[in-house]
Amino acid sequence: MTTLVTGAGLIGAAFARHALKRGEKIVFFDPEPREAFLRFKLGEGNYELARKDVRDLPALIETIHQHKATTVVHTAGLIGGRVQQSLSAAFDINLGGTKNVAEAVRLTGVKRLIHISTFGVYDMRREITGPVNEDFPRGAGRGYGNYKGAKELILEAYQQQYKFELLMLRPANVYGFGHFFAGSSGGMKMQALLRAGLEGGKARIPAAETMANEYIYADDMGRAVDCAASVPMPVRTIFNIGNGFVSPFADVVETVKAIAPALDYEIEPGAPPHSKSFPLDISRAKQDLGWEPKFSLRAGFEDFLDELKRARALGFI
């Protein structure tokens, strides 16, 4: 069986690690797939690269047909601040690309589409009194969250009309060793802190990134995507993926220092942080996907640090 993964970043590679173990073939669909990163993450596993762009619908159709893909995992798109910097370009990539993915799934008869959304779809301007479940209103106001919400609506409309299987995952802030080309500022923050603790020097953290936030380690996220790709189709189809608690920035720093005491950092002035008050409710993923996080924040950082050490030893960083 073959899965086509749009985007060759942290989540796509983390999913591929798990899918390859169960014998799946992976095709990464990405105009700049960063082969060295994938080799580091996946070794010589059964994967191929299609250097193509989700804005190219004929290329999507051709690649799915060529590899006889029966599942598509859609991760491609700009993230966070990169969306806000150019709403027009992000519209073309994020929304136009998602429309193309839906069309390609429809036209090629792909059985299941897994869409990677975000907890940023939730409208945090509303009153929140407890853990946020999947029925909480969408629409965050800014480009990234609104575009992600629009992508979900596009895919829901296609699924209703054309009846392919659709599951959508809304992860918390995903962290782990990555290249962050798409623009994950939260992921870059975590990597900067760990690298400073490992290598010396000083991590420079934007003030906006000192918020209290919910995090999910990349391996846990990859396993969640693999569950969504391989379980019998559940009745409920939208799932929060998080670790179930909000971590203040001070706790993040303290956890890094516990395993990398050399950490030094400074806060760069800028936009103020907007902290999360409550975590995601992840009970639906536990019940319907058979998934729950395995990594605590410290365990995630320890595994992340081991990967950074291995990357240094191999001359990758």
- One DSSP character per residue, 144-165 reads HHHHHHHHHHHHHHHHHHH--E
SS3 assignment, position 309: helix
Query: What is the pLDDT confidence band of residue 86, given thresholds at 50, 70 and 90?
Result: confident
The domains of the chain are located at: 2-176+214-243+277-294
Q: Exposure pattern of 75-93 as b/e (b: 16+ CB <10 Å)?
A: bbbbbbbbbeeeeeebbeb
| Between 63 and 34, residue with greater pLDDT | 63
The pTM (predicted TM-score) of the whole model is 0.96
Interatomic CA distance for residues 85 and 81, integer angstroms: 6
Q: Looking at the domain that runs over 2-176+214-243+277-294, which CATH code has it been given?
A: 3.40.50.720
CB atoms within 10 A of CB 272: 10
Question: Has residue 85 got a pLDDT over 90?
Answer: no
Q: Which residues contact 109 (CB under 8 A, 6 or more apart)?
A: none
For residue range 137-180, list pLDDT tens digits in order. Answer: 998 778 888 999 999 999 999 999 999 999 999 999 999 999 87
How far apart CA 84 and CA 103 sit, in angstroms, is 26
